[in-house]
């Protein structure tokens, strides 16, 4: 009898602060990880040899014309495959922050402005960009042909000496994509909490800190964060204005999604194009259907929030130095800066210092997977 009461007491002590409705919303942020399967647009997706080849290429300066930088120069594993700089430095200071490459398959559009719709096309961009790696298809083909790679390339794609430069460019990028797809964050204390709630195991759920739970309540509740940072990867995959200034200099703006749409309409490497290996052209509807709208101006893709503790500074221009600065930004959001109609979803939150710490504790609980 006494033991029974004690057991009941222990269960009741298991400190789950959430209401039924909050629990239902929390479950929507998992389960994690998601299994995505192979990318049908990339015939070497999931191929172990291609993954190893892509990994070698990723940190090889041969992909830059002057052999002075590799993908890993900016996408450094130590920082979640970003670079800890506000804005990337290529041959000169670039306009945007280097995003993390974790969990890429959770996105439909790539780059801050969604200028591409698949990972291999996004990997072509830096190779050809004159301010980054500065190759053209011809010079890349010669560099690969003159390296130790032709044998590996040959096993995966065929004889390089018979391939047109554009085909070599695309094949190299598909090997890079096969590798990048494997970069994933693991389960965190948030996931253990979420899974325990799903299983009705309130004792395990109670081990998630009260502070993180209160932060989660703010995230799905008053903060409205989950409106954009939704689902298991904490992004709706779309483009929004989060009140970050879009001026690069006094006279130059970053058009954001508006520019991304211009880029994708001219890009020959989309899911709708001939370089996709998918005969069904799965996913091509998205690029075929996008339309220009004034409201796209100055919007940026909603980042996923898993692994974010490693990828400071934040936002498309790296203007916020840490998660506390991000929380302060949302807390005191400048409504005048919100130029996009209909983004009234963001309001100054008036959080207390305790509430700010709670929100940070919650964000940190999306990153403690030990990766
Ligand atoms: C000079 C630094 C630099 C180098 C070198 C570089 N990147 Fe990036 N990478 C960036 C920046 C900055 C962005 C954001 C681009 C944008 O939004 O316009 C980016 C974006 C990406 C993205 C999109 C990520 C997302 O979440 O949408 C992928 C994928 C990527 N890079 C892969 C590569 C690969 C592969 C290489 C090597 C071939 C490479 N990058 C070389 C700086 C770099
Ligand atoms: C209206 C949609 C929207 C809402 C609501 C929203 N965000 Fe964001 N979030 C974004 C967008 C878009 C960006 C990127 C903005 C940019 O770079 O200009 C972003 C960026 C971030 C980043 C930086 C991630 C990185 O890798 O740079 C964090 C952290 C973040 N948001 C957390 C939150 C929190 C916490 C809340 C709630 C208080 C919230 N967001 C509410 C859309 C939103």
Domain boundaries, the chain: 8-34+188-245+305-364, 48-180
Over range 120-124, report the average pLDDT.
98
CA of 84 to the centre of ligand 2 (A): 18
**Residue predicted with more confidence, 344 or 6:** 344
Query: Cβ-count burial of 128 within 10 angstroms (0-12 exposed, 13-18 middle, 19+ buried)?
Result: middle
Quick one: pLDDT band at residue 4, thresholds 50, 70, 90? very low
Count CA atoms within 13 Å of residue 96 on its CB side. Answer: 17
Cα–Cα dist 260/88, whole Å: 18
Superfamily (CATH) of domain 48-180: Cytochrome c-like domain (1.10.760.10)
Contact 254, 95 (CB under 8 A): yes
Short-list 12, 3, 11, 367, CA closest to 191: 367
Nearest-atom number in ligand 2 for the CA of 330 is 38
Task: Enumerate residues 6+ apart whose C-beta is below 8 A from 291.
Answer: none
Q: What is the pLDDT of residue 345?
A: 85
If DSSP codes are grouped into helix, strand and coil, which group holds residue 90? Answer: coil
Of all protein residues, the one whose alpha carbon is nearest to atom 16 of ligand 1 is 111
For residue 317, give the ligand nearest its CA. Answer: 2
Q: What is the pLDDT of residue 232?
A: 98
Q: Model confidence over 102-118: pLDDT tens digits?
A: 999 999 999 999 999 99
User: Which of 7-16, 237-246, 352-361 is predicted with the least confidence, judged by mean pLDDT?
Assistant: 7-16
CA of 142 to the centre of ligand 1 (A): 23
Write out the CATH class of domain 8-34+188-245+305-364. Answer: mainly alpha
Q: What is the pLDDT of residue 344?
A: 72
For residue 95, give the ligand nearest its CA. Answer: 1
Q: Model confidence over 138-173: pLDDT tens digits?
A: 999 999 999 999 999 999 999 999 999 999 999 999
pLDDT of 9 > 50? The answer is: no
Other beta carbons less than 10 A from residue 363's beta carbon: 25
Question: Is the CB of 116 inside a 6 Å radius of any atom of ligand 1?
Answer: no
Over range 20-42, report the average pLDDT.
97
If DSSP codes are grouped into helix, strand and coil, which group holds residue 247? Answer: strand
Short-list 32, 41, 64, 54, CA closest to 101: 54
Contact 366, 306 (CB under 8 A): yes
Contact 278, 41 (CB under 8 A): yes
Q: What is the pLDDT of residue 5?
A: 40
Q: What is the pLDDT of residue 349?
A: 94
Question: Is the CB of 366 inside a 6 Å radius of any atom of ligand 2?
Answer: no
Question: Is the CB of 90 inside a 6 Å radius of any atom of ligand 1?
Answer: yes
Across all residues in the chain, what is the average pLDDT? Answer: 93
pTM of this prediction exceeds 0.85: yes
Q: What share of the chain has pLDDT > 90, as a percent?
A: 88
For residue 302, give the ligand nearest its CA. Answer: 2
Between CA 116 and CA 111, with CA 264 as vertex, the angle to 5 degrees is 35
pLDDT of 358 > 70? The answer is: yes
For residue 181, give the ligand nearest its CA. Answer: 1
Cα–Cα dist 222/351, whole Å: 10
Q: What is the pLDDT of residue 16?
A: 87
Q: What share of the chain has pLDDT > 70, as a percent?
A: 95
Q: Model confidence over 227-284: pLDDT tens digits?
A: 999 999 999 999 999 999 889 998 999 999 999 999 999 999 999 999 999 999 999 9
Question: Is the CB of 96 inside a 6 Å radius of any atom of ligand 1?
Answer: yes
CA of 160 to the centre of ligand 2 (A): 44
Question: Is the CB of 243 inside a 6 Å radius of any atom of ligand 2?
Answer: no
Cα–Cα dist 323/283, whole Å: 34
Same fold, 8-34+188-245+305-364 and 48-180: yes
> Phi first, then psi: what are they for 70, rounded to 5°?
-120, 175
pLDDT of 136 > 80? The answer is: yes
User: Helix, strand, coil: what percent of the chain each, to 5?
Assistant: 45, 5, 50
Short-list 96, 113, 116, 114, CA closest to 298: 113
Q: What is the pLDDT of residue 13?
A: 53
Q: Model confidence over 198-212: pLDDT tens digits?
A: 999 999 999 999 999
Q: What is the pLDDT of residue 53?
A: 98
Tokens standing for residue 46: 């999931």
Question: Is the CB of 229 inside a 6 Å radius of any atom of ligand 2?
Answer: yes
Over range 301-326, report the average pLDDT.
98
Contact 55, 101 (CB under 8 A): no
Contact 74, 88 (CB under 8 A): yes
Nearest-atom number in ligand 2 for the CA of 299 is 12
CA of 330 to the centre of ligand 2 (A): 8
Contact 169, 140 (CB under 8 A): yes
Question: Is the CB of 312 inside a 6 Å radius of any atom of ligand 2?
Answer: no
Of all protein residues, the one whose alpha carbon is nearest to atom 9 of ligand 2 is 302
Q: What is the pLDDT of residue 370?
A: 79
pLDDT of 61 > 50? The answer is: yes
User: Which of 3-12, 124-133, 144-153, 184-193 is predicted with the least confidence, judged by mean pLDDT?
Assistant: 3-12
Over range 295-301, report the average pLDDT.
93
């Amino acid at each position: 009898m006494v033991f029974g009461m004690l057991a009941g007491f222990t269960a009741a002590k298991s400190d789950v602060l959430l209401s039924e409705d909050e629990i239902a919303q929390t479950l929507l942020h998992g389960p994690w990880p998601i299994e995505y399967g192979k990318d049908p647009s990339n015939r070497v997706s999931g191929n172990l040899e291609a993954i190893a080849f892509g990994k070698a290429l990723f940190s090889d300066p041969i992909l830059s014309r002057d052999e002075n930088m590799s993908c890993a120069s900016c996408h450094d594993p130590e920082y979640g495959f970003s670079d800890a700089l506000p804005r990337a430095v290529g041959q000169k200071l670039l306009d945007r922050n280097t995003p993390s490459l974790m969990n890429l398959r959770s996105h439909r559009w790539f780059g801050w402005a969604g200028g591409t719709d698949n990972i291999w096309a996004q990997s072509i961009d830096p190779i050809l960009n004159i301010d980054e790696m500065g190759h053209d298809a011809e010079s890349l083909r010669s560099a690969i042909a003159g390296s130790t790679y032709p044998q590996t390339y040959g096993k995966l794609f065929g004889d390089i000496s018979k391939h047109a430069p554009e085909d070599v460019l695309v094949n190299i990028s598909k090997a890079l994509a096969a590798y990048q797809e494997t970069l994933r964050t693991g389960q965190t204390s948030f996931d253990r909490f979420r899974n325990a709630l799903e299983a009705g195991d309130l004792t395990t759920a109670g081990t998630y800190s009260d502070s993180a739970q209160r932060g989660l309540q703010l995230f799905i509740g008053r903060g409205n964060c989950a409106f954009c940072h939704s689902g298991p990867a904490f992004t709706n995959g779309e483009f929004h204005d989060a009140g970050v200034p879009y001026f690069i200099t006094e006279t130059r703006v970053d058009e954001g999604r508006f520019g991304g749409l211009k880029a994708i309409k001219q890009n020959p490497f989309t899911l709708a194009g001939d370089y996709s290996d998918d005969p069904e052209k799965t996913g091509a509807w998205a690029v075929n259907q996008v339309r220009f709208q004034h409201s796209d101006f100055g919007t940026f893709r909603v980042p996923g929030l898993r692994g974010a503790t490693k990828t400071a500074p934040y936002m498309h221009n790296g203007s916020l130095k840490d998660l506390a600065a991000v929380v302060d930004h949302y807390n005191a959001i400048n409504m005048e800066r919100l130029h996009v109609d209909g983004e009234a979803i963001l309001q100054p939150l008036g959080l207390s210092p305790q509430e700010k710490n709670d929100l940070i504790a919650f964000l940190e609980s999306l990153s403690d997977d030990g990766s």
